[in-house]
Amino acid sequence: MNNNDFGKKLKDLRTENGLTQRELGEKLGYCNQTVSFWESGRREPDLDALVAVAKFFDVSVDYLLGLKEF
């Protein structure tokens, strides 16, 4: 995941759903700084986090990774 498709998709999904980074982090069990790092591309989520985000937003992991459109 070197082009940060995940971070861009995550931010888009989060803002479309009216959530702050803090609110999303709380819902997923992560701190807001972790969400911020994911969105900026400073860190990448582990597999469990990736699956949790996909389930929360009801999208595929492939979509989050930029491998497939919605």
Q: What is the pLDDT along the chain (70 residues), one digit of tens a residue?
A: 557 899 999 999 999 999 999 999 999 999 999 999 999 999 999 999 999 999 999 999 999 998 887 6
Tell me the pLDDT tens digit for each residue of 53-63.
Answer: 999 999 999 99
The per-residue pLDDT for 70 is 63
User: Any idea which residue has 């709380």 for tokens?
Assistant: 26
Q: How far is CA 39 from CA 11, 15, 19, in A?
A: 6, 12, 13
Prediction pTM value: 0.90
